[in-house]
């Protein structure tokens, strides 16, 4: 049981995408758009001659079995966190969408199905960002995915939206953003970090997001690092961070505990930073300023139950934040995160089952 919680207790600020998932796409269709199975690419939004710009129209024209799911790393996490509560609008997402049907559909799904409050700024020039997932099945029955992302309106987020909603932000308990958003909106992330620093009641949660963020935007990351209360990342990003700061020269698993310990104690304005590092199906490593390094094993699940690993990391963070919000132990937060991740990987895209065995019910 959980006590009644105020609206917008967990706020995420990121890049909302609308995921379009299409099954049974043949190789000929992939070749037409110079796409490959089991590959991920980023479309060139600024090139009108980019061959991928007609992809969405052709999907709508030739396929009827399109699944539409709200996506984007931070938005996935916020949706999953809300999934743990029977009380609506505990979680809120900020982002930018286009003035189009996809944006309207996503907002409707976020609010009416996921019960998340959305505060989107609208861009009238760029369309809503999309991630298109094309699934093809080979002769052996194995599923392969080709992913292509169109950022479009995502990168048009405006600082004024945060400034207009400072009362909501100041009442939050957790504010969560990511390295992806830091790349496109460093001033917004700095504002959020400083806002959290001014209040002992608001935790600033941050996700490293990708090795290229750590490597190419290290100065931006180090600038906001002192404000971070909760840091999430995976093992690859962690090693990249350590190399960037010259803590190590090469990846060495024997050094990971030392790296996490250094991340915990790296310049901080806070008294109890928590660093959570995932390793896929491997152990989760947690470091805090008050305890030594802890390791948590991840229960295995049958291989044939794994449908799609995309979004599992986002889901883990969502489960962790939901339980952290109500003051549960690190062990319970980790368990909730693992449960969420293992539910999502059984689905296609970051879709959420109706049943949540760890749901937190209001008194």
Say if 46 falls within a structural domain: no
Say if 233 falls within a structural domain: yes
pLDDT at site 226: 95
Say if 164 falls within a structural domain: yes
Phi then psi dihedrals of residue 294, to 5 deg: -115, 150
Calpha distance 362→292 (Å, rounded): 34
Tally of domains in the chain: 1
- Domain CATH code at residue 198: 3.40.1190.20
pLDDT at site 350: 78
pLDDT at site 49: 61
- Give me the active site residues, please: 314
pLDDT at site 113: 95
pLDDT at site 363: 67
pLDDT at site 262: 94
For residue 7, give the 3-state DSSP assignment. Answer: coil
pLDDT at site 289: 86
pLDDT at site 37: 78
Say if 357 falls within a structural domain: no
pLDDT at site 47: 64
Say if 315 falls within a structural domain: yes
pLDDT at site 45: 66
pLDDT at site 27: 85
Residue 183 is part of which domain span? 10-17+71-128+152-344
Across the chain, which has 363 residues, the per-10-residue mean pLDDT values are 82 96 85 83 70 86 88 96 96 98 96 97 96 82 81 95 97 97 97 94 95 93 96 94 88 84 87 92 92 91 75 93 97 97 83 91 76
Say if 212 falls within a structural domain: yes
Calpha distance 345→338 (Å, rounded): 11
Say if 47 falls within a structural domain: no
pLDDT at site 290: 80
Say if 26 falls within a structural domain: no
Contact 95, 70 (CB under 8 A): no
**Long-range contacts, 46-55 (Cβ 8 Å, 24+):** 52/148, 52/150, 55/132, 55/148
């Amino acid at each position: 049981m959980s006590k009644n919680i105020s609206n917008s207790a967990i706020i995420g600020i990121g890049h909302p995408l609308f995921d379009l998932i299409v099954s049974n796409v043949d190789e000929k269709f992939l070749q037409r758009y110079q796409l490959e199975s089991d590959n991920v690419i980023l479309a060139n939004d600024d090139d009108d001659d980019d061959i991928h710009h007609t992809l969405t129209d052709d999907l709508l024209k030739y396929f009827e079995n399109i699944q539409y799911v709200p996506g984007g790393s931070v938005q996935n996490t916020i949706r999953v966190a809300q999934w743990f509560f029977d009380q609506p609008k505990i979680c809120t997402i900020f982002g930018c969408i286009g003035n189009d049907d996809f944006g309207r559909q996503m907002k409707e799904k976020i609010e009416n199905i996921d019960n998340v409050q959305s505060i989107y700024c609208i861009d009238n020039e760029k369309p809503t960002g999309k991630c298109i997932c094309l699934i093809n099945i080979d002769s052996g029955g194995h599923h392969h995915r080709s992913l292509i992302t169109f950022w479009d309106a995502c990168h048009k987020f405006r600082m004024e939206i945060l400034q207009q909603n400072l009362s909501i932000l100041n009442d939050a308990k957790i504010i969560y953003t990511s390295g992806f958003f830091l790349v496109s909106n460093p001033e917004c992330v700095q504002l959020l970090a400083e806002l959290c620093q001014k209040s002992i009641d608001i935790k600033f949660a941050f996700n490293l997001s990708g090795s290229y963020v750590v490597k190419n935007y290290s100065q931006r990351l180090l600038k906001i690092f002192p404000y971070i209360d909760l840091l999430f990342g995976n093992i690859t990003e962690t090693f990249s961070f350590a190399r960037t700061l010259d803590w190590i020269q090469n990846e060495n698993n024997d050094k990971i505990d030392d790296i996490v310990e250094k991340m915990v104690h790296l310049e901080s304005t806070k008294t109890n930073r928590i660093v959570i590092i995932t390793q896929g199906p491997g152990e989760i490593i947690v470091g805090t300023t008050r305890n030594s390094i802890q390791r948590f094993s991840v229960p295995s699940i049958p291989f044939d139950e794994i449908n799609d690993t995309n979004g599992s990391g986002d889901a883990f963070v969502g489960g962790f934040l939901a339980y952290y919000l109500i003051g549960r132990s690190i062990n319970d937060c980790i368990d909730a995160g693992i449960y969420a991740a293992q539910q999502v990987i059984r689905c296609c895209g970051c879709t959420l089952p109706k049943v949540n065995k760890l749901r937190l019910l209001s008194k």
